[in-house]
A = this chain, B = another copy of it.
Amino acid sequence: MNFTPIVRDILSKYESDNPGTKANLARILMQGRLGGTGKMIILPVDQGFEHGPARSFSVNPSAYDPHYHYQLAIDAGLSAYAAPLGPLEAGAGTFAGQIPTILKVNSSNSWATSIDQAVTGGVDDALRLGCSAIGFTIYPGSEDQYEMMEEIREMSLEAKSVGLAVVMWSYPRGGKLDKAGETALDVCAYAAHMAALLGAHIIKVKPPTDVLWQPEAKAAYEKANVDKSTLAARIKHVMQATFNGRRIVVFSGGEAKDLEGLFTEIRGLRDGGANGSIIGRNTFQRPREQALDMLDKIIGIYQGKM
């Protein structure tokens, strides 16, 4: 597994990390069909926690089985598979060493009365399950945002000391934020920036709209003539906002749309310089063959072939 210059370059930007963490980042960057390109596609399956099993899996009942997702991620040539504790415990033995895994260490659910998540896994779990990273969601803007940041601070420190990587899902939500604000360009860039400030290795945010939500930010954007006319331009700004490209940033799919809409969006992500995508529901909520076909096309887009 000789590294490509692009992977070598990305790893060189994690200059404070020990070789163990770099090795785990490298595993993700070298895995699957995008291995070596600096791009990645991660399959996250935490919808069951967030929306319950039936809303997540009844449309494609094979997906009730934790092994289904491991196998799908492997067969599709993806870069990593992310899930909470239980599903990893249910498959980590069978699939040990076949694909890098990310233990999602906090989780919310549909019945929550606060905008927060429970810590449901830890660094010790990640080590015993052979994971390459822990994953943590923060809700910048929520009433509980500082507690969440303090939780991930402690877990990050521990993870980094034992050679694991840290993935942060940064989802602005709650508090003063309204629905339009959650995906506004200034808010998305700010959320990505905060994850970088908190020491994340890989940052996951939503693709931003062209809304500018905070009045003071709007003024700054307009003064600086930040281009927000296309998705690619907005993604480029988000990459800039995360240490000018020194951190890996991946994007979730935006609003529900048809496949052509999704592919168009992926092209925008690619053209803006995103490191890749995290694609959950769009993957496991369609039949396996269709999912493999869709992922094949997305990989093609990131490879620049489509």
Contact = CB atoms under 8 A, between A and B. Distances in A.
A141 interface: yes
Number of copies: 5
A113 B226 CA distance: 28
A20 interface: yes
Given A16-B89, A85-B198, A127-B162, A98 B1 contact: yes
A48 interface: yes
A276 B198 CA distance: 29
Nearest to A131: B20
A118 interface: yes
B244 A109 contact: no
A216 B157 contact: no
Nearest to A241: B53
Interface string A141-180: 1110111011001100100011100000000100111000
A193 B150 CA distance: 28
A7 to B, nearest CB: 9
A248 to B, nearest CB: 12
Given A54-B220, A55-B216, 11 more contacts: A15-B93, A16-B90, A20-B130, A29-B97, A52-B189, A57-B241, A61-B240, A64-B243, A86-B247, A109-B194, A113-B143
